[in-house]
Chains A and B, each alone.
Chain A
Amino acid sequence: MICYLGKTLLIEEKGKKIIVIGDLHLGMGEALRDSGVLIEIDMIGSMIKGLDEVFKKTGKVNEIVLLGDIKHYFGKIVKEEWNDVLKLFDYLKEKCGKIIVIRGNHDVLIKPIAKKAEIEVGEFYCIGKYCFVHGDKDCDEIWDKKIEYVVIGHGHPAVKLQEGVKIEKYKCFLEGKYRGKNWIIVPSFSEYSIGSDPRENEVITAWNLPFERFKVRIVGEKLEVFNFGRLSLLKK
């Protein structure tokens, strides 16, 4: 069973409650400062606030799956990443015993941090009919017969709603069938990047997913998610 809970998914499988969290990009504050944007940003603080809301609703869960791109810098680990990623891991460990970290394309150097927190890092995670990957590259496990659902991050999907001159952009899930599997693209969890509208910008994944046939579920406030039907039917 899949429940859409704000920007996250709550999946019940094999008697387990699993929370799935999309891309985080911790360390972006430092990346911005490093590029000359000298504005103070409390990424981890706002993230933990968002997670508090989710866990208040779910209560105890059995597993937490992070869909990758936990950190932002590719080739190095900056101070903010050490601090914030560890802070996040500590926080999540308090919420549940099993944390699964899937390595995203930004997570080249996630292992030293994960090791310090005693958390394993993998390229994928399968449980029952579900397979979780980051989404930047294909992987054999997806195509296993028993897998019915492929859950990915990476693409940062969002859609624009327009009425007259008013345009607002919202994070969304994209969900649909492709090569015999059900695919769900989870939006990024960071409130500092909304994401890209597949009708204007490419939502990048390792596959050529037919998004126009995919369903759009828009993330509202207070963990509400609204089904807007097929992307192709969403008028611009």
Chain B
Amino acid sequence: MAEIKFIEPNSGEEVKKVLHPIVSEWFFGKFKDFSKTQLYGVKNIYDRKNILVSAPTGGTKTLTAFLGIINYLVDLALKNELEDKIYAVYTSPLKALSNDIYINLISPLEEILKLAEKKGLKMQEVRVALRTGDTTPAERQKMLKKVPNILVTTPETLAIVLTSPKLVEKLHAVEFVIVDEIHALTNKRGVYLTLTLERLCNVSLIEPVRIGLSATISPLEEMAKFLVGNGRDCLIADVKLLKKVEISLDYPGENILESENADNQKKLYHLLDELIQGNRTTLIFTNTRNATERIVHHLDLQFPGRYVGMIGTHHSSMSKEERFKIEDRLRKGELKAVVSSTSLELGIDIGSIDLVILIRSPKSVSRALQRIGRAGHRLHENPRGKFIVLDRDDLVECSVLMKEMIENKVDKTAIPKNALDVLAQQIFGMAITKIWGADEMLATIKKSYCYENLTKDDFYSVVSYLAGDYALEHRHVYAKIWYDESTKQIGKRGKLARVMYMTNIGTIPDESYISVVVGAGEGKGVNVGKIDENFLERMKRGDVFVLGGHKYQFLYTRGMKAFVKAHVTKNPTIPSWFSEMLPLNFDVGLAIGKLRRLIKEKIEKKEENINFLKEYLYCSSDVAEEIYSYCKEQHDFSEVPDDKTIVVEKFKEEKEYLMFHSMYGRRVNDALARAFAFAAARHKHRDVEMGICDSGFFISGEKLDENKIIPWVTSKNLRDILKEAIERTDILKRRFRHCAARSLMILRNYKGREKSVGKQQVHSEFLFSAIKKISNEFPILREARREVFEDLMDVYNAEKVLRWIEAGEVKIKKIRVPIVSPFGLNLMIQGRSDLIKMEDRASFLKRMHELHLKLIGEKGK
């Protein structure tokens, strides 16, 4: 039985004792003492224990991981026993590591070497090499001749290394594997890495020690298993916050209602300006790329000239070079402020940031901690963070996040399990390196924590897909591997397999970006930037949006280009916070529900409530008062929903609405909303629209019978209902395309040519109908459904909520209201996000035709 164990730090003496005298001399020549993280990690790594080190950002994690290894390698080098092999592999999700690696690895090694020389000791050079997707063939060749002792790489490149016959020989006795920023890998990229690590163990004659480095995240036990896989021990070093986080909350304007008013947006920029001017360097997080653009645009508008060349944006749809430029300028202290969506949460040291501003809720405690941890990297400086909230929901949410942060309660993160698309890519990779017995292959895969419960059926269905079994014709085109049923062996097919694998590897979907080109008037033909496909899908002709700080009006698309008009005076019509919204963490949702219940219990006692809130939320009287009056308003109008009560309000506008106040976060609400909407649609055989947000959802349709709709959805039938409900949605089709790319059904690089996404921009609708013709249970199609269920939505917790309802732990309270209640207002403004299609294309067309004829009369005939 594998043991996962939390540990206490070693004493400085104990750690010092394991260091080689020369390493010790070097260390204490540079540092006064071991950091807390090092006390936890260094000796255990030296003792070859698997370990997960979780510490807030800004710690000394990388050196913690490397010190024990450097120590070991220096010892060998001094004894002239250093072999021509890779001793340690280090992976980080970021390519732009070179700078950090220089600081953490190369310079210590150089300094130790010099120290040895000074003492007249002979020491072999300990070689370090960086290999990423950007490494040139010449550099790769050099690596073969002069084998690095430490290989610094990314998860994807490590998988490539494992399929390169020459380099893999040097990994036959790898002793350490370091997985950095493991908290950023709770996604398919991480799933992929777990299999890559199992493949690495499979080629290595010894089991390498696994070292995971993580920012604050929870649950750590699960992260430890994620790191080491099934059946292996792991120590957990939960290094508590060394620095005190200074965190506060503010809103622009005198009170929160004033901040909500769009006319008062000016105040936001004045507040931001004040904060930026009062600090040396400020980092602003906005959650969405659009908001990033908008803030820079408005700061420039309100303060002409002040921010020219002093402010930068940093978000994921900017090019790598542009982002790197911003990071570099930030590090050099050339910028006053940087506005980022989420992309700067992670990674390399970005210099000294005085203040981190979070505009709108970061939606989870761990994310908030990671963001604020970007400040005060220098020793003895506390990270300072400030929430800026823009409406009352935001105020409540951020207040609760603040409480959880202060009390060190970190919300839970989930890791995808049994992803079949990632599995397909890895099986193909495995088959390239050797001929496998199917049982051995399956056993290797099942060592990964993410595939612990992989069924034989699922495994063989993926093998069948890869072997081209689903094809009627052209099998030679589709088949990537062969599987011999009589010998139960699996191997690669075709001479080009390795090239195909190496040039198409990865799990991050190529979001297709559409170029935005000025199509009329001044500046015609100028390319002004890129927007992602999802954003475009939401746009109609005439819509105004912001890109790169400028406003554009959408005209039309052609191929992979969107044509727009520049110099638009109209206000943006596309809600800026619309796409890429981060979902609220389930645990934080429950914490908000609990807060509501505690307020509700004494709702009539204002004084008592405000005192309670001040203490409970560590907040000011103003904030307490705002939160109280918000709840009181809801109470007077309808009822305050809480963690034990889902309030369902029914009201009528042009259609009937059922508004569910369910504070469980968007991922859970997405699942619940679709299930209830499907129940309603089925009941009336008409489409039902729905709106979904973190605090609840609504469904709207012709006539909604809540007494029939609500009981119809149960924890037992939820998955079946959802399977039907998502089948015709764009979401499933889009996810399928991503899964198809991950499982190498759609290739970026094929027959020696790189295809731009544009070139292979086949409509997801088309791919989806083609695959359904092959089989409705095609493994990659099943994976797309799983991804929608478990990664996009949270069916697991949605079932849990339904079980609470069934057990009576959560009550549903139905209330009729004349109009939407205060708590539902934001959701109503945000509007409908999707619909459950019950009416098929043909009947929709007929109905639209009848409507249209009435509308235009004979005029159009």
Contact = CB atoms under 8 A, between A and B. Distances in A.
A32 B478 CA distance: 12
Contacts of A221: 841-842
Interface stretch (A8-16, A51-59, A142-150, A164-172): A164-172
A91 interface: no
A222 B843 CA distance: 12
A233 B860 contact: yes
A42 B842 contact: no
Interface stretch (A97-105, A120-128, A180-188, A195-203): A195-203
Interface string A213-235: 00100101110001111100111
Given A40-B774, A201-B556, A220-B846, A233 B832 contact: no
B760 A233 contact: no
Interface string B489-514: 00000000000000000000000000
A194 B780 CA distance: 25
A201 B845 contact: no
Given A202-B556, A220-B846, A228-B852, A39 B771 contact: yes
Nearest to B780: A39
A165 B689 contact: yes
Given A220-B842, A229-B861, A36 B755 contact: yes
Contacts of B746: 36-39
Interface stretch (B146-154, B449-457, B469-477): B469-477
B759 interface: yes
B747 interface: yes
A215 B470 CA distance: 44
Nearest to A83: B473
B766 to A, nearest CB: 6
B119 interface: no
Interface in B739-775: 740, 744-751, 755, 759-760, 762-763, 766-767, 770-771, 773-774
Contacts, number: 112
Interface in B769-819: 770-771, 773-774
B541 interface: yes
A229 B473 contact: no
Nearest to B558: A201
Contact of A36 (B471, B750, B841): B750
A236 B554 CA distance: 14
B558 A202 contact: yes
Nearest to A191: B769
A226 B849 contact: yes
Contacts of B541: 199-200, 236
B844 A168 contact: yes
A101 B859 CA distance: 38
Contact of A40 (B472, B766, B855): B472
A140 interface: no
A33 interface: yes
Contacts of B844: 161, 163, 166, 168
A227 to B, nearest CB: 7
B183 interface: no
Contact of A165 (B472, B557, B773, B832): B832
Contact of B841 (A163, A165, A168, A200): A168
Contacts of A163: 844, 848
B723 interface: no
A234 B852 contact: yes
B832 A35 contact: no
Given A229-B861, A235-B855, A36 B760 contact: yes
A168 B840 CA distance: 10
- The residue among B478, B763, B841, B845 with the most chain A CB atoms within 10 A of its own CB is B845
B725 to A, nearest CB: 15
Contacts of A42: 472, 773
Contact of A164 (B689, B770, B861): B689
B649 interface: no
B379 interface: no
A212 to B, nearest CB: 12
Contacts of B470: 40
A222 B378 CA distance: 72
B740 A33 contact: no
Contact of B845 (A165, A170, A192, A199): A170
A35 B750 contact: yes
6 contacts: A161-B848, A165-B835, A166-B837, A202-B558, A221-B841, A229-B856
4 closest residue pairs by CB, A with B: A229-B860, A36-B747, A36-B750, A221-B842
Interface of B: 470-474, 477-478, 540-541, 556-558, 687, 689, 740, 744-751, 755, 759-760, 762-763, 766-767, 770-771, 773-774, 832-835, 837, 841-842, 844-846, 848-849, 852, 855-856, 859-861
